[in-house]
Structure 1
Amino acid sequence: MNYFRKGFIPVMLTPFSENREVDYDGLTRLTEFYLASGATGLFANCLSSEMFELTPQERIKITQHVVKVVSNRVPVVSTGTFGSTVQEQADFIHQIYQTGVQAVIMITGLLANEDESNEVFNERVFDMLHRTDKIPLGFYECPIPYKRMLSPQQLKLFIPTGRITYHKDTCLNIEQVRAKVAAGKGYAFGLYDAYLVHAVESLKAGSAGLSCIQGNFFPELIVWLCQNCGNSQLEKEVQKVQNFLTENMGIMHTVYPLTAKYFLQKLDINISTFTRRETGLFSVNIKNDIDRLYDDYVRLQEELTLTVT
């Protein structure tokens, strides 16, 4: 069964209070904000959530909280491959799945070391499938600890097992995206693209949707793009949104996720800008860039009819 509808799946932020504790009230507000924006699913406990700065208990509790707030309105996925051995990772996958998520995500760079071959990686994936019963799983080509890319040929090995339902792609190559989409054709499998430079091309190529950090600035804009990328009557508007996202990509990656939390404050989302991750200095120049981004976004909203269906 494929739980996921075509659309936008945010990589969720984790709000913290100034004393470094997880702000669960803020997490509730943020979850409702994503849902009100039209998200078709949520990716909790991911890199944008500062997952490597969370304790194992916090990873579970955050996932449980999101699942509870969502209350079956959309699917939720969460990362599970934490631990130094395959068995430890499998055990944590079981714990994450017990929170009520629809799939548990495996970080490709945590399944094999950078110097290990694809053959070793493939063997480890099949070992993980064996150790995790019938739990639906997914892949995330996360840049930390290093970015391990999956080839379409590898996906053709894993997808027919019926266990791989979700893939967050960061290959940055539209031809590879097309080949990966083709590898999953006919299966309950969805590829969600993180790279907005080719967002429209990816959606038209058959990707299940987008899962990008830009959705932590203006999720309804990403939702609109998913819904209207193929609308021949809105081609100019779609291109304008694509250009806006492409032109501002560098700004949004700077000292992220602090910049995203600051931007959300400007949207009246009551969360702190505090991050556990060391992001670098939020300088006056960067603040001015984000303020300009907000002003440009407001103008874009005025120019477009961003109707979310």
Structure 2
Amino acid sequence: MSNTKKGFIPVMLTPFKDNGAIDYDGLTKLTELYLETGAAGLFANCLSSEMFELSETERLELVKHVVKVVAGRVPVVATGTFGGEIAKQADFIKRIYDTNVEAVIGITGLLAKENDSDEVFEANIAQLLALTENVPMGFYECPVPYKRIISPKQLGNMVQTGRVIYHKDTCLDIEQIREKLALTSNAANFGLYDAYMVHAVESLKAGSAGLSCIQGNFFPELIVWLCNHYDQAALSKEIAIVQQFFVEQMEIMHEVYPTVAKYYLQKRGLEISTFTRRTDIGEFNKETKAKIDRLFEEYAKLRERINLENVLA
């Protein structure tokens, strides 16, 4: 997960059938969509995948399926920590790694309790790394069950172990991003992927390895375009337009997510259901549907405005 070339790492959705079963045919099509639009890697079994609504067996089978479809074309990372004793989490990390992923991702909010000190968190990380032998690791500041932000110093220390090659950052603070990048700049095999599209261009310019955001579940080719062109002076006007588009459309893409993303992909022609196992996201009503319809229209206008090459309709 090198930081030498910027890339987009989608946080993968999980398509379900209307009866709630995983739709593996839909998952194949979705995986191919990410790849066809230029994804540099894939983050499977993540929050967007509804990982907390999957059984342990489903998590493993889902990751195996994605790895099989990808067939080595890009790296795949996947979550391997779901709470409980550190030894138990380490065991599942090994099982996820056996699916042939590039690295296994630890959820920071599951590696210490919310009121635990930094010292407890750091000790748990050290224990986890010791128990997982040589498994390449990454970390994700997932907002569920609570968001535990890794400090720049903590991240620098983790990367110095040589075991941590990936970090999905959700701190929402560009100055903290810059500090994290400064303290990990000498690690050639490490990449920080930013989730916050409000400062996407600033983050890429600061040295982030790429972007890993839910917006890629609406228009992945636009995230790829930004990763490829963020620093090109000749396209400065277009880059500013794209950055502002993400700022303006941020709220609607988080509303009733992931249902809204699945509906948007339906409009793109992907044959998947909007079914979700999540019960805490609100109602996908006519008002929300109309907002996504408008987003679809606005994106069509944006593509024309910046002359984005037609990767997919």
**TM bracket, shorter-chain basis:** over 0.9
| Aligned partner letter, 2:208 | S
* Cα distance in structure 2, aligned partners of 1:183 and 1:39: 26
Match of 1:292 in 2: 294
1:196-215 alpha-carbon deviations (Å, 9 max, x no partner)? 00000000000000000000
1:80 equivalent to 2:65? Answer no
1:38-80 alpha-carbon deviations (Å, 9 max, x no partner)? 0000000000000000000000000000000000000000000
Match of 2:102 in 1: 102
1:270 equivalent to 2:265? Answer no
**Equivalent pairs, count:** 309
User: Are 2:2 and 2:209, in contact at CA under 8 Å, matched by a contact in 1?
Assistant: no
Offset of 1:3 from its aligned partner?
9.3
Offset of 1:302 from its aligned partner?
1.4
Offset of 1:301 from its aligned partner?
1.1
Match of 1:163 in 2: 163
1:120-145 alpha-carbon deviations (Å, 9 max, x no partner)? 00000010010001000001000000
Match of 1:195 in 2: 196
User: Are 2:13 and 2:50, in contact at CA under 8 Å, matched by a contact in 1?
Assistant: yes
User: Are 2:6 and 2:204, in contact at CA under 8 Å, matched by a contact in 1?
Assistant: no
Match of 1:70 in 2: 70
* Cα distance in structure 1, aligned partners of 2:102 and 2:17: 29
Report the 3-state secondary structure (helix = DSSP H, G, I; strand = E; otherwise coil) of the residue aligned with 2:52.
helix
1:13 equivalent to 2:13? Answer yes
* Cα distance in structure 1, aligned partners of 2:156 and 2:68: 34
What does residue range 31-180 of structure 1 map to in structure 2 within 5 Å? 31-180=31-180
Match of 1:221 in 2: 222
Report the 3-state secondary structure (helix = DSSP H, G, I; strand = E; otherwise coil) of the residue aligned with 2:148.
coil
* Cα distance in structure 2, aligned partners of 1:100 and 1:2: 18
Offset of 1:5 from its aligned partner?
4.7
User: Are 2:3 and 2:207, in contact at CA under 8 Å, matched by a contact in 1?
Assistant: no
1:229-265 alpha-carbon deviations (Å, 9 max, x no partner)? 0000000000000111110000000000000000000
* Cα distance in structure 1, aligned partners of 2:184 and 2:248: 31
Report the 3-state secondary structure (helix = DSSP H, G, I; strand = E; otherwise coil) of the residue aligned with 1:248.
helix
Match of 1:257 in 2: 258
1:166-225 alpha-carbon deviations (Å, 9 max, x no partner)? 000000000000011111111121100000000000000000000000000000000001
Offset of 1:2 from its aligned partner?
4.1
* Cα distance in structure 1, aligned partners of 2:216 and 2:3: 21
User: Are 1:224 and 1:308, in contact at CA under 8 Å, matched by a contact in 2?
Assistant: no
* Cα distance in structure 2, aligned partners of 1:97 and 1:46: 15
Q: Which moved more, 1:96-105 or 1:156-165?
A: 156-165
Report the 3-state secondary structure (helix = DSSP H, G, I; strand = E; otherwise coil) of the residue aligned with 2:145.
coil
1:93-120 alpha-carbon deviations (Å, 9 max, x no partner)? 0000000100000000000000100000
Say what the alpha-carbon RMSD is for the aligned residues.
Answer: 1.3
* Cα distance in structure 1, aligned partners of 2:6 and 2:41: 9
Offset of 1:307 from its aligned partner?
4.0
Offset of 1:4 from its aligned partner?
8.5
User: Could you state the TM-score of these two structures normalised by the residue count of structure 1?
Assistant: 0.98
1:281 equivalent to 2:266? Answer no
Long gaps (5+) in structure 1: none
* Cα distance in structure 1, aligned partners of 2:139 and 2:201: 22
The structure 1 segments of at least 4 consecutive aligned residues displaced by more than 3 Å after TM superposition are 1-5
Report the 3-state secondary structure (helix = DSSP H, G, I; strand = E; otherwise coil) of the residue aligned with 1:78.
strand
User: Are 1:166 and 1:191, in contact at CA under 8 Å, matched by a contact in 2?
Assistant: yes
Long gaps (5+) in structure 2: none
Report the 3-state secondary structure (helix = DSSP H, G, I; strand = E; otherwise coil) of the residue aligned with 1:77.
strand
Offset of 1:305 from its aligned partner?
2.5
Match of 2:242 in 1: 241
User: Are 2:3 and 2:191, in contact at CA under 8 Å, matched by a contact in 1?
Assistant: no
Q: Which moved more, 1:21-30 or 1:2-11?
A: 2-11
State the identity %.
61
* Cα distance in structure 1, aligned partners of 2:309 and 2:133: 42
* Cα distance in structure 1, aligned partners of 2:146 and 2:304: 40
Report the 3-state secondary structure (helix = DSSP H, G, I; strand = E; otherwise coil) of the residue aligned with 2:49.
coil
